[in-house]
Amino acid sequence: MSLLVDFLSLASVVGIWPRFVEPRMLCTTELTWPLSPEKSHLKGLTIVHLTDLHFHRKISQRFLDKVARRVASHRPDLILFSGDFICYSELESGERLKNFLNRLEAPLGSYCIFGNHDYSQYVSRGPEGIYDLIAPPNPMRGVWLGLKTIFSSPSTGTGVSDRVLSIETHSELAALLKQTPFTLLDNATVTLPIGLNLTGLGDLALGRCHPERAYKGYDPRFPGLVLSHNPDTFPRLLDYPGDWIFSGHTHGEQIHLPWPAWARRVSQKLARLEHRAYTRGLFRVGDKRLYVNRGLGCHKPFRFCSPPEILVLKTEEGR
């Protein structure tokens, strides 16, 4: 079935770009974090945020090399990864993944969380609108699901089925990460010696997002960065500390239709979020910022107006 999709893409001029060109077009987004006087001790930091690698055995080594070189070129002080290392809970070619992650080092460390693909069983939004165990869809079934989403109004709450709550951590992936520079933050906070909190939340789809537990170690004297895979968590984190929240999950809509307005609403709907606005880019509520990264990979390489992304955040004194 996958070969059929490739053939249809090649047979169509329109299909060549999103299937074979754009998924390899790695883009860098640069933002600045203006610091208030009490946060000026963080001046001059470079922070790289990555997400949604979706590593699998067929992923291009050339693309992985490009990502590693691009990250290194920015000389990051800190690297953050907000989940979905793998696809559909399948750890394929683990040695290649480990070798790639070992190239992503930074002086202040590399920190990560798990996404909904990173637990021992794959979880996504089911037909009833709640998060449940889902069989990995074949391409044609994925197209059919997309059409149903467009022409219906499915429930998109944050409910989780009972059987999802018993799913365990992906022990092989957790063990692999221990052989890399990455530290997994599973509903936990660490405070770096420079005076910066890093908080990592479990994934919303697994019922593992527990901010009351994650923020227990948060030092209120210092600012903080938060990793939360699913941007639907943003509203529930507004009452907790932290200056930036970094998310992924949506792949920037993956098929992004920027214009006209009705088309944009369709592409946002396809992301199947409860809060449809939070599909890509920067959002601000008060002093808190959310950045939804388009991510590096996808389950099936197919992107339109949503190329892979690396976020580079630099700190500077506020004016």
The identity of residue 118, as a single letter, is: D
HSE (CB half, 13 Å, CA atoms) of 28? Answer: 15
| b/e sequence 70-89, b meaning 16+ C-beta within 10 Å | ebeebebbbbbbbbbbbbbb
Q: Which residues pair with 316 in a beta bridge?
A: 34
pLDDT at 157 over 80: no
pLDDT of amino acid 135: 86
Total domain count for the chain? 1
The answer to whether position 98 is within a domain reads: yes
The answer to whether position 124 is within a domain reads: yes
CA angle 142, 143, 146 (to 5 degrees): 90
The answer to whether position 8 is within a domain reads: no
DSSP element (H, E) containing 172: helix 171-177
| Domain with 237 in it | 25-317
Among the ranges 87-91, 156-160, 268-272, which has the highest mean pLDDT value? 87-91
The answer to whether position 2 is within a domain reads: no
The answer to whether residues 169 and 186 touch, using CB atoms and an 8 Å cutoff, is yes
Q: pLDDT by residue (tens digit) across 80-116? A: 999 999 999 999 999 999 999 999 999 999 999 999 9
The answer to whether position 19 is within a domain reads: no
Report d(CA 221, CA 180) in Å as an integer. 30
The answer to whether position 135 is within a domain reads: yes
The answer to whether position 7 is within a domain reads: no
The CATH number for 257's domain is 3.60.21.10
Q: How many helices (H) and strands (E) does the chain have?
A: 9, 14
Q: pLDDT by residue (tens digit) across 138-151? A: 655 555 455 455 55
The identity of residue 269, as a single letter, is: K
The answer to whether position 184 is within a domain reads: yes
Q: Coil, strand, or helix at residue 44?
A: coil
CA angle 137, 173, 100 (to 5 degrees): 95
Q: Which residues pair with 196 in a beta bridge?
A: 192
